[in-house]
């Protein structure tokens, strides 16, 4: 199975970059499934139903979220009825939406997409290791599904790497999101799980993690937070990861970074 994952889409610059570069990457790589993290897509915080529909119209198959899942309130009724929009699985019981979605490809192959949120330097949610372990045990690769993809949304690379090793051989890939900076550690672990600690953001990299530069500098140098952060609105770069798996056992056979845009080295 060919899996294309695109990291955090940030505001208009990110949405424009996705619309511009996704078609050419699809043509080049012919992915079977496209997964996009959209938790920053609406003006840098959250997502709404209109943007979800825009992504689905671009032939995005599944959208994952993170700590900004609920920043646009209109997404709450939408996520209840749209299974392709996946929020972190370790939110408390009763939270709207679902933490995983099984996408069926033509021909009957299936991939389970899971979203989880880390806890180190993040909101104190339920244990992500226990939550992911439970659903993975219930849907073993090679039997219930052909592949399992985990978007692990968190700050600390140590927690992301620990999750990948914890699940090694039981999921196809553990790809990190949230820091908005692509890491250079693309690898396949000994058990067959692909890992990259962060896919990077899709947005304007002439910024501070997608936000206009001046306000973050003032916050760091003067300890003032009087102005709201505003998304950078220059030309965006699309960042993500491409993975190929063995349909028989779900294990990864290839992983490589994907980057298209004006500022980072294209890959």
Q: Packing angle between helix 49-57 and helix 11-29, nearest 10 degrees?
A: 20
3-state secondary structure of 21: helix
Pairing of strands 252-260, 194-196: unpaired
Judge residue 155's burial from the number of C-beta atoms within 10 Å of its C-beta, 0-12 exposed, 13-18 middle, 19 or more buried.
middle
- Are the beta carbons of 6 and 201 closer than 8 angstroms? no
* Catalytic residue flag (residue 68): yes
Going by C-alpha positions, the residue among 73, 15, 63 that lies closest to residue 210 is 15
> Could you give the CA distance from residue 136 to residue 130 in angstroms, rounded to a whole number?
10
Rounded to whole angstroms, the Cα distance separating 41 from 52 reads 9
Residue 233 dihedral angles phi and psi, to the nearest 5°? -125, 25
Do the Cβ atoms of 196 and 185 come closer than 8 Å?
Answer: yes
Q: Which helix (H) or strand (E) holds 81?
A: helix 75-81
Distance CA 41, CA 93 (A): 26
Residue of 68, 103, 153, 178 marked active site? 68
CA dist 225 and 210 (Å) reads 17
Q: Kindly list the catalytic residues.
A: 68
């Amino acid at each position: 199975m060919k899996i294309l994952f695109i990291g955090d889409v940030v505001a208009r610059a990110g949405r424009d970059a996705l619309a511009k570069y996704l078609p050419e990457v699809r043509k080049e790589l012919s992915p079977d499934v496209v997964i996009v993290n959209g938790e920053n897509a609406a003006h840098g915080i959250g997502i709404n139903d209109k943007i979800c529909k825009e992504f689905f119209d671009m032939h995005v198959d599944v959208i994952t979220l993170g700590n900004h899942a609920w920043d646009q309130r209109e997404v709450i009724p939408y996520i209840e009825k749209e299974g392709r929009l996946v929020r972190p699985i370790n939110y408390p019981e009763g939270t709207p939406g679902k933490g995983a979605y099984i996408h069926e490809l033509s021909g009957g192959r299936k991939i389970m997409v899971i979203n989880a949120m880390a806890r180190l330097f993040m909101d104190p949610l339920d244990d992500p290791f226990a939550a992911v372990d439970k659903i993975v045990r219930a849907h073993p690769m090679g039997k219930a599904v052909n592949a399992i993809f985990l978007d692990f949304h968190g700050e600390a690379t140590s927690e992301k790497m620990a999750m990948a090793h914890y699940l090694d051989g039981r999921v196809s890939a553990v790809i990190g999101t949230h820091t908005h900076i692509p890491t250079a550690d693309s690898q396949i672990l000994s058990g067959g799980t692909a890992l990259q600690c962060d896919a990077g953001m899709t947005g304007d990299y002439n910024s501070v993690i997608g936000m206009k530069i001046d306000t973050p500098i003032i916050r760091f140098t003067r300890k003032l937070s009087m102005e709201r952060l505003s998304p950078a609105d220059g030309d965006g770069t699309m960042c993500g990861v491409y993975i190929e798996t063995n349909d028989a056992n779900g294990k990864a056979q290839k992983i490589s970074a994907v980057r298209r845009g004006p500022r980072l080295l294209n890959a």
